Amino acid sequence: MKLKALFTLSLLPVLLPTAVQAAMEKRYVATPTQSQWEMVSNTPLECRLVHPIPNFGDAEFIARASKKINLDFELKMRRAMGETRNVSLVSMPPPWRPGDSADRITNLQFFKQFNGYVGGQAAWSLLSELEKGRYPTFSYQDWQSRNERIEVALSSVLFQAKYNVFSDCIANLLPYSFEDISFTILHYDRNSEQLNKTSQHRLQQIAEYIRYNQDIDLVLVSTYTDSSDSKSESQRLSETRAQILQDYFESLGLPKDRIQVQGYGKRRPIAENTSPIGKSKNQRVVISFGRTEV
């Protein structure tokens, strides 16, 4: 009996570290039956793929209309970080492949009072690892308890089908953003109510953006002419151009009270009217957009 008691006691130094280590780690991951991936935004302006993580928050991949291909990842937490922490991002094998090795993706930081964020190449790496069926995992010291580490994993279960939809969405994003159209100068054919061909194409791009954006709450339109005609004729032409654009923006679904137009005639030239090039520059319209910031 004494030998058995001594043997049991002798095992305690071996068993305790394992038990303590298990107690020092909190792991958040959706089980195979819990795992969901959902496209919550699928438009030419934004693609957003969301994965709920039980008892922790949501993982979100976001790509937006832009001149450049872009991808952001946000780890939205129910409780924001109380302290800034260094984070290790590792690609772990799925539970059904326990013999596979873990691969480091990158090291990063989660900042106090902010959600976790990954951008650039690392965000694309997250998608790539999920496509392989692996579990990208964030690991960091718990800010509430210094003796514990937090592990947050993304499940690849049911990922592939929604990833295909997400990829198609990215391929159909507009190649310009709100910032690219928010202040635009277009030009007219001389003494015409019609924009020149280059400006017509640009206006079509603006219209395409407006069709999918519900946040634009102000449009300012200012039209100008050169000095070729009399003051009254220049003013008439300028006001006609402004009215045509107001009607155009209304046809896109923008409320009339959000559109402000003004014809300035030959006033406020931006170039000398002594040359064809200068006159062409003055035959212009300036369009500015304002939107609700969320």
Whether residue 16 is contained in a domain is answered as no
Percent share of the chain, pLDDT over 90: 72
Across 153-157, 191-195, 249-253, 275-279, the highest mean pLDDT is recorded for: 153-157
Judgement on whether residues 219 and 90 belong to the same structural domain of the protein: no
Look at the chain and report how many structural domains it folds into: 2
Q: Which of 171, 202, 223 is the last residue of a domain?
A: 171
More confident residue, 111 or 214: 111
39, 115: one domain: yes
Predicted confidence at residue 293, as pLDDT, reads: 65
The answer on 182 and 166 residing in a single domain is: no
Examine residue 182 and state whether it is found in any structural domain, yes or no.
Answer: yes
Domain annotation covers residue 235: yes
Determine the average pLDDT of the residues in 158-184. 96
Average pLDDT over residues 182-208: 93
Residue 39 clears pLDDT 90, i.e. is over it: yes
Residues 137 and 245 in one domain: no
On whether both 144 and 62 belong to a single domain, the answer is yes
- pLDDT at site 3: 39
Q: Are residues 38 and 152 in the same domain?
A: yes
Domain span at residue 167 reads: 24-171
pTM above 0.85, yes or no: no
Confidence check: pLDDT of 14 > 70: no
Q: Is residue 267 pLDDT above 90, yes or no?
A: no
Same-domain status, 123 and 219? no
Decide if 36 is inside a domain. yes
Does 225 have pLDDT greater than 90? Answer: no
CA count, 13 A, side-chain hemisphere, 12:
7
Q: Which of 293, 201, 218, 294 is nearest to 254 (CA)?
A: 218
Please give the pLDDT value at position 27. 94
Domain of 120: which CATH number? Answer: 2.60.40.2540
Any domain includes 10: no
Considering the domain architecture, whether residues 130 and 228 belong to the same structural domain is answered as no
User: What's 219's domain CATH number?
Assistant: 3.30.1330.60
For residues 44 and 138, membership in a common domain is answered with: yes
Measured between alpha carbons, how far is residue 53 from residues 26, 42, 60, 77 in Å?
13, 21, 11, 9
> Which range is least confidently modeled, 30-34, 156-160, 229-233?
229-233
**Residue 253: CB partners within 8 Å, gap ≥ 6?**
210, 211
